[in-house]
Structures are given as C-alpha cells and as structure tokens.
Amino acid sequence: MSGRGTACSNSGYGALPIHGRVMRAAFLLSRTELRHRWPSLIVLAVLVALTGGVTLTAVAGARRTSSSYRRFLEKSRNQDLIIFADDVRPADVAKLRAMPGVDAIGYGRQMTIVRPSGEFIGVGGALDDVIFHDVYRLRIVEGRPVRPGASDEVVIGEPLARAASEPSSTRALEP
C-alpha cells in the first residue's frame, strides 16, 4: 500500500512520513552544529543584546529630550529680535509694544567691556520691569535674582564672573 508522504511501501509500525524524517535529520544536524559552535552563538547573542540595548537607550533619550528645547524657550522667553539703537525713548518703546503681534518688549542699555586680553564682555541693564522678567528671563546659576527696583544689585554673566575671579582683572573691575 503506497500512502502519500511515506518513503517506504511498508506503512506499518516505525515508518515515518518524509517530512518527519527530514525534520529529524535537521534536528540532528542543528544539534551537532550547536554543540560545535555554541561559543560563536553566545558571542552573537551578546552582540545582538548590546546593539538592542544601545538602540533602546538612544530612542528613550530622544523621546525625553524631544521637547526640551521648546520648554527651554518657554521658560527663558529668549528674544526673537534685538534692536540696538542710539536714540530710543520710552515713547518709542510704548509705540512698539502697542503693535499687533508683539508679546513683550524689554527696554535696556548695553555697554561692552574690552579686557586687556582683547576679550569682549557685554554688560547691560534693564530700564523697565519687562526685560529679565517677561523677556529674556535670566538663568541664575548661583545666588538669587535681583529684587525688582533695587538699584544697588546686579546680575553678572558667567564671563564677567570668571573675569572677576582672576587676580589680574579684579582691580580693573573694582570701582
């Protein structure tokens, strides 16, 4: 009796269909190969695990920082535009503030200090309560913010703080 899928005409006890014998041969072959190549397979598994870990870490980091720049801009309220002009009066600033689409305008003065080494250090001061509060909010690294209306307090930037800490430049910064 010839049955479909059998390798021999005797389909009695112990006869395996062709696909069963092929699977058994494949299993024996893979077991033999595994016995000889298991160190290589372990190295391959470790490399795949490390690559997957690095990829997942990069994706998680990108997800966490995807909104960090937007949050920084919202918190700091950095300027979209800076105009340096010689003769700007408070009335001019009031006209600009009244224009449509203007969220806030800060009014200040700036001067530049040139150190003996040639380094430029920008120094500025607010002429209203908008700058450093509503526009260009300060990121205080050490200390506290200036009290509103205090004329005897200053906030200095990191370059000026570094310059003030150098012994050779301290005399030039003292009044």
Q: For 111-158, what is each residue's pLDDT tens digit?
A: 787 878 887 877 777 788 787 778 888 778 777 877 777 778 777 777
Number of domains, the chain? 2
38 in a structural domain: yes
> Residues 31, 112: one domain?
no
- pTM recorded for the entire structure: 0.44
pLDDT value of position 158: 77
158 in a structural domain: yes
> Residues 49, 133: one domain?
no
Average pLDDT over residues 51-79: 87
6 in a structural domain: no
Q: Residue 65 — very low, low, confident or very high, per pLDDT cuts 50/70/90?
A: confident
> Residues 53, 84: one domain?
no
pLDDT value of position 1: 47
| Domain extent for 37 | 12-66
> Residues 16, 98: one domain?
no
42 in a structural domain: yes
23 in a structural domain: yes
39 in a structural domain: yes
> Residues 29, 97: one domain?
no
pLDDT value of position 47: 96
Residue 48: is its pLDDT beyond 90? yes
> Residues 165, 140: one domain?
yes
Structure tokens at 129: 């309560």
> Residues 62, 26: one domain?
yes
pLDDT value of position 100: 92
> Residues 118, 147: one domain?
yes
> Residues 54, 91: one domain?
no
